């Protein structure tokens, strides 16, 4: 099989597939149009997020048997067209679930205990104790939306902090020793911390909006390591200002490029018109990281290994 690699990943992908006699070509720089011009020559493609795999791409890829995304989300692929054409879809959420879960816990601990704020104050000669009194995770009810690989790994860790973890998922009967499945209504009534672990689809676009936030019974902490467009930023900012949201941990923003490599030029850090973005970047109640929740040294290798294992399982002749 002939495979095109469109993004840089851990070298084990190349090493292990070459060892199994697959033919590989790397192209990390060509434009979308140039890739489309040659994609018909390949049996498989391995991607991250650089090139959108849309209807035109897929219909041009006459010989394509599989698309493998080194990561979890598949929103940069036209799934319905791929399914119609019989192209197999492969991803690797198992590879960075532990990284995401640790990032969630880390951000919550930093935010709730004012660790970053207090550290910066001391480094600047300011010694404040009462003003930096923290809030414990112990005893809090954490609500997760989505209970796949990321949600389960997060629940496992938070249960170790003495949290009561509940979750809502579109699939039934997923409760385990770490978390209990509930209706969305019950989650809104009980959660004191809300964390998203869902893909970006038509149904989940702006899932967290003004109406959703108003239906939360408790003032709550909010965490998003899923996708930026799962959240309507304007509504989140208003909720933080009104103190309905006690603080937010955001690894993703709706203003990101589709490739996740930076903010979109129209909403860059220097864009003075985007008051909501400026608020998030300057508020002490908000922690923002650059889409790195699943981005550890260990996850880079694990993501790649999962992809290789799945390709070999399906296509090794």
- What does each C-alpha distance from 162 to 56, 98, 148, 281, 289 come to in angstroms? 50, 19, 21, 31, 26
Contact 228, 254 (CB under 8 A): yes
Catalytic annotation on 202? Answer: no
Catalytic-role residue among 10, 48, 97, 291: 291
- Per DSSP, helices labelled H in the chain are 12-19, 32-38, 55-60, 79-84, 97-112, 115-123, 149-159, 184-190, 210-214, 233-241, 275-282, 297-315
Structure tokens at 100: 């995401």
Catalytic-role residue among 192, 232, 254, 256: 256
Burial class (CB in 10 A: 0-12, 13-18, 19+), 291: buried
Residue 76 DSSP SS3: coil
Contact 66, 83 (CB under 8 A): no
Residues 7, 91, 145, 104, Cα dihedral to 10°? -50
In whole angstroms, give the CA distance from residue 103 to residue 292. Answer: 8
Contact 17, 311 (CB under 8 A): yes
Catalytic annotation on 10? Answer: no
Catalytic-role residue among 227, 232, 254, 273: 227
Catalytic annotation on 50? Answer: no
The residues assigned a catalytic role are 227, 256, 291
């Amino acid at each position: 099989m002939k495979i095109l690699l469109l993004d840089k990943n851990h070298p084990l992908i190349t090493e292990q597939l070459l060892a199994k006699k697959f033919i590989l070509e790397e192209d990390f720089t060509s434009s979308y149009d140039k890739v489309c011009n040659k994609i018909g020559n390949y049996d498989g493609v391995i991607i991250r997020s650089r090139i959108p795999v849309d209807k035109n791409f897929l219909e041009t890829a006459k010989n394509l048997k599989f698309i493998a995304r080194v990561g979890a989300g598949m929103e940069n692929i036209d799934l319905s067209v791929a399914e119609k054409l019989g192209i197999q879809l492969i991803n690797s959420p198992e590879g960075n679930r532990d990284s995401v879960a640790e990032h969630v816990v880390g951000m919550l601990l930093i935010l709730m205990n004012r660790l970053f704020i207090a550290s910066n104050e001391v480094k600047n000669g300011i010694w404040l104790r009462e003003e930096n009194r923290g809030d414990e995770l112990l005893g809090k009810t954490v609500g997760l939306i989505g209970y796949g690989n990321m949600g389960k790994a997060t629940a496992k860790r938070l249960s170790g902090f003495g949290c009561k973890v509940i979750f809502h998922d579109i699939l039934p009967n997923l409760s385990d020793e770490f978390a209990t499945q509930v209706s969305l209504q019950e989650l809104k009534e009980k959660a004191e911390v809300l964390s998203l672990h869902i893909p970006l689809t038509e149904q989940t676009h702006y899932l967290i909006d003004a109406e959703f936030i108003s239906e939360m019974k408790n003032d709550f902490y909010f965490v998003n390591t899923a996708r930026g467009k799962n959240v309507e930023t304007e509504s989140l900012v208003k909720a933080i200002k009104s103190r309905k949201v006690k603080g937010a941990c955001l690894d993703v923003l709706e203003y990101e490029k589709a490739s996740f490599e930076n903010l979109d030029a129209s909403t860059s850090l220097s864009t003075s018109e985007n008051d909501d973005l400026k608020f998030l970047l300057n508020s002490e109640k908000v922690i923002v990281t650059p889409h790195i929740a699943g981005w550890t040294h260990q996850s880079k290798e694990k993501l790649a290994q999962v992809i290789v294992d799945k390709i070999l399982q399906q296509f090794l002749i």
